[in-house]
Amino acid sequence: MYNELIFRLIIDLIVKYKKLVIVSHVNPDGDALGSSLALYFFAKKLGSNPVVIVPNDFPKFLSWMPCADDIIIFDKNQEKAVELMNEAELFCYLDFNTESRTGLMHNDLCHFNKTPKILIDHHIGPDCSKFEACLSETKVSSTSELVAELIKYQGFDNYLDSDTATNLLVGMITDTGSFSHSIFKNTFNICGELLSLTNLDYKAIHQNIYDTSSENRLRLLGFLINDRMTILNEYNTAFIYASLADLEKFDYQVGDTEGVVNYPLSISNINMSVLITERQGVIRLSFRSKGDFSVNDLANKYFNGGGHQNAAGGTLNCSLEEAIEKLLSVLPEYKELLNK
């Protein structure tokens, strides 16, 4: 399935250019962190001197991931991050394919056009021409699956350890909603290999991710579903909104709304679910769908975003009310596709 020349090229670049800066996307999720940290472990084993930089903080429920403490958070430690970027001999972009997905880091990354770059990603439509090596595959669960294949190519015997495998598994578990979507045969195969080779406790990993919420987080979920969810049966769509005041009421912590958007899809006729969240100065939208309906197309056309067929995101610079109006105004165009 894979072009092994790409694997070889990526590994040769990492071996050649020792100062490696691994970068992932804004609002880093389990796959962003899992793929970045696994590559970090792997690059060290290849004799490289890697660092991981992410644009902003990640959810607390991922802070236990092996070596998560080593991650440089750009908006908390800008001086250090810029210093490391200036020294970089090689960049590796993981889990995104347009530089604008790096938020605040984008302005700085633009200055390093001449530094070689690698892309490893599973989103639709990369521009591979900007990269020395481009491992882009959409028919995989996650970027972590791609990094797992890269390490496997070099040899799990010598290059896999339980910390690396844990990070890879977190990426695959979270990007597939605990293996409920975006899964391919190879996803199960590679996860099986990771587990059997390292003797990891899968249940413990799952519990670390999903059973470490605060009471506030669970109550926020209940509130949003009860008081902030609208079902639009005509469009087989549900949306949930969360204002800044709502979030504050439940002492919002980074990551607390992660996963909320999935719940409305459990209603049998709902084919698309949208979570509209008010953040400081911007509205974030999360889209999920079942079946053939492409939320990537919708997010791309109307919400300055994108992602995958069944999971995408976007942003608007407007009020919460205007964002809801915008969603309602575009739904008629998609009625037929949503009613399939």
CA end-to-end span of the chain: 32
Provide, rounded to whole angstroms, the least separation between the CB of residue 209 and ligand 5GP: 14
CB under 8 A, 24+ apart: contacts of 333-340: 334/235, 334/293, 334/298, 335/234, 335/235, 337/292, 337/293, 338/235, 338/236, 338/237, 338/271, 338/272, 338/293, 339/235, 339/236, 340/271, 340/291, 340/292, 340/293
Closer residue to Mn ion (CB): 142 or 164: 142
Of the candidates 232, 242, 231, the residue with the CA atom closest to the CA atom of residue 286: 242
Provide, rounded to whole angstroms, the least separation between the CB of residue 328 and ligand 5GP: 19
Query: Which residues in 82-101 contact Mn ion (CB under 5 A)?
Result: 95
Of the candidates 148, 136, 135, the residue with the CA atom closest to the CA atom of residue 186: 148
Provide, rounded to whole angstroms, the least separation between the CB of residue 307 and ligand 5GP: 2
Distance CA 288, CA 274 (A): 7
Of 137, 175, 246, 278, the one binding Mn ion (CB under 5 A) is: 175
Lay out the site mask for ligand 5GP across 77-116 (x = CB under 6 A, - = otherwise).
------------------------x---------------
Provide, rounded to whole angstroms, the least separation between the CB of residue 91 and ligand 5GP: 18
Query: Which residues in 279-298 contact ligand 5GP (CB under 6 A)?
Result: 286
- Asked if 311 is part of the footprint of ligand 5GP (rule: CB under 6 A), the reply reads yes
Q: List the single partner that 246 binds among ligand 5GP, Mn ion, none, CB under 5 to 8 Å by kind.
A: none
Candidate ranges 46-54, 182-190, 245-253, 301-309; the one touching ligand 5GP (CB under 6 A): 301-309
